[in-house]
Structure 1
């Protein structure tokens, strides 16, 4: 197995999608669920591996039925789980309903689950010697008791690796005020901050994308990327901006699209030798090119059901017939 270029740290979540209501009008006292492996960091790790990046996932995976599903899914996609913890706590469950635009509205079952129980001893065993980038985010950074341990791990890793953070605000589980209180510290650690427009509105209500980017640059993040759904993305490198359009696509749902965007961004930057350390060689042209590639990856994810990112072969241009 190749040594990991990117290490991802965070949660796996069982995404349970509700089946459409029966059209007959008759009441049925049951609810059918279709369960798929998800969770922002896990989705990012899977997308990176499918794109061809050597990636290790630091996770606490339960031995329950969902945990076994996670392992099978991650390993089938090529993710290195050699440092994943076998946890005794249950897996986190999220029940998702899709609205008319294909966007998911979640309810979480996450009390005392495996993802949030990180200890310093567990993370001290992680070998980052070959890692150019450590990506973390979402709930593992804010849920107790493991959140502070994860944050401290990122601080130690920042001596050598590029740090990428995706806040992925989940207000049903953690109040936005908790994210706001910690975000300045995360920006001081992060070289790359990728978040959605919805995250922005929860973190800095009423701020424009440009004003928010300037706030986060001042706090320390060199590259800020705000994804905006069908309107593409805005990238800001030290205040120099670029707007990246979203490719046209027939949307099935948007589950995992932001995670796939992050994976596409990191994959493209790593393939060009731009990750590692503080991004001192990164230029705006590099960022715009990486974001355009990431937008293609996200669009393909939107064209499939659930958090199902594309494989590298799906992004290659079709072969031209020779006549």
Structure 2
């Protein structure tokens, strides 16, 4: 277990996705101009963790196409260790984003046969890191075949020496909700931390209150369940005792990557407090709430910039390039 103030290394296992947005300024009746930004839930979480100052390894499968090069560049520039990742010939995953008037994104995925889902047991075996305090995964990499089942087996082995964190990040247009519901009890048995959005809960536990859903997931094995509620903050449930934390006010540009940044802020703060590395035996509800309040601040800053662009930490505060640019324009 890491000492308080010493975050320890966190491993993040999962996919990279190219988020494709319409470039309205360059689109016209003759053609649709698109802009590709590096994304993917686990990759976003790894970037945010590293920018917060947590030593972070990303365990991913990168295509050797142009998007794979883009993913590597973004992760490396943020300080993420890619030494345990794999390069392969399968294509990258693409997600075409459609933003509504509130900045909420819905996606159309191009993912069949993509590199992210093809993990082998041999590849996963080479990623083992007994020095890490946490292994975080989830999203499509955990549910897509054939790699998802192999990742589950890897988690079962890894939890012998590290805290396991899972974010289901359900994508019902790509994977049937019934598939998530079938696997979720097993994920709870593997996970110490389960982080979901309110939208996830509507898919994974329809017609069920949030408190009741938390109780079900605790009974299945997850000690800490956190449900993010957008601008209303988050519900924090530790072994069945819960509290709601508020979200800071923010002018939303879009919400892309906000949940992933929240997860990063949560794990970063828990590691800093010395709670990661085991089964969260020393975690109190007050500490969990404190970590989630910090995470909500990280998510809010991410919402204030376009795309999945989480904030950097300078050791005493969070900062973003967008904030500095705004300050210059106001001078």
Above 0.5 in TM-score? yes
Q: Report the counterpart of residue 11 of structure 2 in structure 1.
A: 7
C-alpha separation in 1, matches of 2:202 and 2:304? 26
C-alpha separation in 1, matches of 2:213 and 2:32? 41
C-alpha separation in 1, matches of 2:168 and 2:238? 18
Q: Does 1:19 align with 2:23?
A: yes
Q: Report the counterpart of residue 71 of structure 2 in structure 1.
A: 70
Q: Report the counterpart of residue 293 of structure 1 in structure 2.
A: 294
C-alpha separation in 2, matches of 1:22 and 1:164? 41
Tell me the SS of whatever aligns to 1:132. strand
Cα deviation code 1:67-104 (max 9, x no counterpart): 00000000000000000001110100000010011011
Q: Report the counterpart of residue 268 of structure 1 in structure 2.
A: 269
Do the aligned partners of 1:50 and 1:311 also contact (CA within 8 Å) in 2? yes
TM-score by length of 1: 0.94
Do the aligned partners of 1:102 and 1:251 also contact (CA within 8 Å) in 2? yes
Q: Does 1:97 align with 2:98?
A: yes
Counterparts of 1:73-152 in structure 2, within 5 Å, are: 73-152=74-153
C-alpha separation in 2, matches of 1:59 and 1:299? 27
Do the aligned partners of 1:93 and 1:108 also contact (CA within 8 Å) in 2? yes
Q: Report the counterpart of residue 321 of structure 1 in structure 2.
A: none
Q: Which ranges in structure 1 are unaligned for 5 or more consecutive residues?
A: 319-323
Q: Report the counterpart of residue 54 of structure 1 in structure 2.
A: 55
Counterparts of 1:229-244 in structure 2, within 5 Å, are: 229-244=230-245
Do the aligned partners of 1:3 and 1:130 also contact (CA within 8 Å) in 2? no
C-alpha separation in 2, matches of 1:67 and 1:290? 33
C-alpha separation in 1, matches of 2:26 and 2:199? 31
Distance 1:16 1:232, change over 3 A: same
Deviant stretches of 4+, over 2 Å? 19-23
RMSD of Structure 2 on Structure 1 (CA): 1.7
Distance 1:38 1:279, change over 3 A: same
Distance 1:314 1:92, change over 3 A: farther
Tell me the SS of whatever aligns to 2:84. coil
C-alpha separation in 1, matches of 2:305 and 2:24? 17
Do the aligned partners of 2:224 and 2:236 also contact (CA within 8 Å) in 1? yes
C-alpha separation in 2, matches of 1:10 and 1:22? 33
C-alpha separation in 2, matches of 1:271 and 1:3? 5
Do the aligned partners of 1:4 and 1:56 also contact (CA within 8 Å) in 2? no
Q: Report the counterpart of residue 195 of structure 1 in structure 2.
A: 196
How many residues were matched structurally? 314
Cα deviation code 1:81-132 (max 9, x no counterpart): 0000011101000000100110111000001010000000000111312100
C-alpha separation in 1, matches of 2:309 and 2:300? 11
C-alpha separation in 2, matches of 1:314 and 1:305? 24
Distance 1:197 1:3, change over 3 A: closer
C-alpha separation in 1, matches of 2:318 and 2:261? 19
Tell me the SS of whatever aligns to 2:62. strand
Q: Which ranges in structure 2 are unaligned for 5 or more consecutive residues?
A: 1-5, 320-331
